[in-house]
Structure 1
Amino acid sequence: MYRLVKPIFFKFDPENVHHFVVKRLKWFNDFFPFGKSVLRGSFDVSFKGLEREVFGLKFKNPVGLAAGFDKNGEYVEALSNLGFGFVEVGTVTPLPQPGNDKPRMFRLPEDAALINRMGFNNKGVDTMAERLRLLKDRHPDIIVGGNIGKNKNTPNEDAVYDYIKCFDRLFDVVDYFVVNVSSPNTPGLRALQEKEPLMELLNTLQKRNCKNNISRPILLKIAPDLTDEQLDDIIEIVKETGIAGVIATNTTIGRDGLYSGEKLKGEMGGLSGKPLTKRSTEVIRYLSEKSNQAFPIIGVGGIHSAEDAKEKLDAGAVLVQLYTGFIYEGPGLIKDICKSLA
């Protein structure tokens, strides 16, 4: 079915189509008679052998949705009914912000890729927190990750306060946190990946985490463009701060080996999809082997098939996430991966 409608979707602006599709998915899930049952029956695969326990959380399967798809936590239930084992929302910032000027998302069909420069467009952490509170009241079993960032106008020296605000506001309504310092679309953000500011940020959040009777797993999302020396620093930082793990990887600023035309390749932003498959797997394998599997890794980047997911898991990932592959291959990809793993 998705193969029939995808050519139609791809004739229109990617961001507009995204909003059109997810709104109708939510309507079908919430209001169509038996909509939830239809979605689960068509896509959800539940086998005991698919279950995973990671970070002290029980996942019904290891295939999650990466951050960026549901920036405001509006579609979590419907997306979960498509078969995702967990849904990561955000990136969210303390204050609402519009993001970068449009157009800001571009398809590269020849490369099965996307370029985006969204710029953390979201409705703010208060809106998300209230929405997730209502969701958790109804569906406490859905695993939700909160991907947090800083507002564009917040200088890096004050960035820690933005992360604290998001952390405190979402603490009661998410199951784990992801610290996003690796998006290429917020000016200066990637400078926070350097060892000293990153240690300060993660240690601050860990101290707040330990002040609560219940702590939440904190993960760090890293860029695929880091050198081996920088990855060594990441391993050391994870061990020293005691955070729960790493998400590898975010989008890349590289453009090597693309088949698409120069105009598309020249668009600013982060590249995702198949061109990232190999590099993200390399990063996962490096972190896993060099750390002697000292911490869990969620693998994301260029997963367009069950084989791609297996490569990430074989390289050392314990869970995987989809984004661009989900857009190009459709919801059947989740089922394919789960069936192959089962």
Structure 2
Amino acid sequence: MYSFIFRVFFARMDPERAHTLAFQVIRFLPTLGIGSIVRRFTRPVESLRVSTLGLEFDSPFGVAAGFDKEGTGIRGLGQLGFGHVEVGTITAEPQPGNEKPRLFRLIADRAVINRMGFNNHGATAAAGVIRRARARSVRPVIGVNIGKSRVVEVDDAVDDYLVSTTALAPLADYLVVNVSSPNTPGLRGLQELEKLRPLLTAVKSAAGPTPVLVKIAPDLSNDEVTAIAALAVELLDGIIATNTTLSRANLATDAAIVAAAGAGGLSGPPVAARSLELLRLIRSVVPADFCVISVGGVETAADVAERLAAGATLVQGYTGFLFRGPLWARQVNRGLARLR
């Protein structure tokens, strides 16, 4: 049914507008009076529960950062069956993001190119939204993903991240340091160890008891990933692999369509192989109880099960939501339950 709706309506609509409309429905699901009914239909079974980071997750499957940029959809996404919602990316300073259009579908690849640019209202505004979500007795685990403000120079990034950390860490179940988006100038340079160590050290200190993770890019070399993983084990509570990729290799979509979309991070199945490869690499060099969250190209329950078997503690998705629709989490959770 959803595939028909997608072909007839959403596939013909500007991708960002389609996302905004769908997200508004999710956002208001609790206030429409049907959220609790939906939750009975989508609630993960008890056998899917995961304990990590000192937290209890109803399901290993959650929403990656980028879908709910400021926390306004936390309750609705939880009612759809996601075990956690990673909000963001949030920056210390409010910013509009890059110029539109900035979101593009590659339908033949079931993939997306985005250059959103961390559009959000800033850490102070997000703190108020997340505080209200935390006050609810029934909610998913809330992760908060923070990044560098565009107006801030890379040399001043630590202080900028600390503004967001101070405002948001007390409200987050876990905090993520995003140094891997390709859409903020200079951001990926923070993955260099000499820049990353002081940043992670400062954020971890300022975050207090809140678990801190770092999110990395799939375009790093294996040696770079191994070094960052070792640093994460030394300083942090976990690592997230991976963000979107700059690669355009082996796409089924017509090259002219890809070229017309232009710059930005590619997500969806084309990044799956590299994401899985890096998951296996990271798990081979970190302790068994170290939290590793895998994201990139996950769409079905079998995909999630493969990541869990490869050593992922938790798994996240985003792009699959666009192609699978609002019952995606339920489909994955039910599939996982059958596979166990």
Residue identity opposite 2:144 in structure 1 = G
Residue identity opposite 2:252 in structure 1 = Y
Aligned residues of 1:288 and 1:294 also touching (Cα < 8 A): no
TM value normalised by structure 2 = 0.95
Q: Deviations over 1:291-334 (max 9, x none)?
A: 35362111110011111111111111011011001111123331
Report the equivalent of 1:341.
336
Query: What is the CA distance between 1:254 and its match in structure 2?
Result: 0.3
* Distance of 2:242 and 2:29 partners within structure 1: 32
Report the equivalent of 1:19.
20
Distance 1:141 1:26, change over 3 A: closer
Give SS of 2:315's match. Answer: strand
Report the equivalent of 2:37.
38
Task: Count matched residues.
Answer: 334
Give SS of 2:284's match. Answer: helix
* Distance of 1:110 and 1:155 partners within structure 2: 38
Query: What is the CA distance between 1:207 and its match in structure 2?
Result: 1.9
Q: What percent identity do the matched residue pairs reach? A: 43
Residue identity opposite 1:176 in structure 2 = Y
Report the equivalent of 1:327.
322
Distance 1:140 1:171, change over 3 A: farther
Residue identity opposite 1:289 in structure 2 = S
1:260-271 to 2 correspondence within 5 Å?
260-266=253-259, 267-271=262-266
For 1:273, which of 253, 268, 282 is the aligned residue? Answer: 268
Q: Deviations over 1:72-128 (max 9, x none)?
A: 111111111000001010000011101111000000000110000000010111111
Residue identity opposite 2:156 in structure 1 = D
Distance 1:140 1:154, change over 3 A: farther
For 1:299, which of 287, 294, 302 is the aligned residue? Answer: 294
* Distance of 2:317 and 2:120 partners within structure 1: 20
Aligned residues of 2:229 and 2:239 also touching (Cα < 8 A): no
Aligned residues of 2:3 and 2:323 also touching (Cα < 8 A): no
Give SS of 2:143's match. Answer: strand
Give SS of 1:122's match. Answer: coil
Residue identity opposite 1:142 in structure 2 = P
- Mark the runs of 5 or more structure 1 residues left unpaired by the alignment: none
Q: Mean alpha-carbon deviation: is it higher for 139-148 or for 98-107?
A: 139-148
Query: What is the CA distance between 1:272 and its match in structure 2?
Result: 0.2
Query: What is the CA distance between 1:139 and its match in structure 2?
Result: 3.5
Aligned residues of 1:147 and 1:178 also touching (Cα < 8 A): yes
Q: Deviations over 1:251-273 (max 9, x none)?
A: 00001000112233221000000
* Distance of 2:90 and 2:280 partners within structure 1: 29
Report the equivalent of 2:30.
29
Report the equivalent of 2:10.
9
* Distance of 1:19 and 1:340 partners within structure 2: 28
Report the equivalent of 1:231.
225
* Distance of 2:205 and 2:213 partners within structure 1: 15
For 1:219, which of 206, 213, 223 is the aligned residue? Answer: 213
1:15-164 to 2 correspondence within 5 Å?
15-30=16-31, 32=32, 34-42=33-41, 44-139=42-137, 141-164=139-162
Q: Deviations over 1:150-190 (max 9, x none)?
A: 11111111001111011110122110000000000001100
Report the equivalent of 2:313.
318
Report the equivalent of 2:285.
290
Report the equivalent of 2:243.
250
Q: Deviations over 1:198-226 (max 9, x none)?
A: 0010111122234xxxx011011000111
Residue identity opposite 1:166 in structure 2 = S
TM value normalised by structure 1 = 0.94
Aligned residues of 1:144 and 1:174 also touching (Cα < 8 A): yes
Residue identity opposite 2:229 in structure 1 = I
Give SS of 1:144's match. Answer: strand
* Distance of 1:83 and 1:236 partners within structure 2: 33
Residue identity opposite 2:6 in structure 1 = K
* Distance of 1:130 and 1:341 partners within structure 2: 35
Q: Mean alpha-carbon deviation: is it higher for 305-314 or for 175-184?
A: 305-314
Distance 1:315 1:198, change over 3 A: same
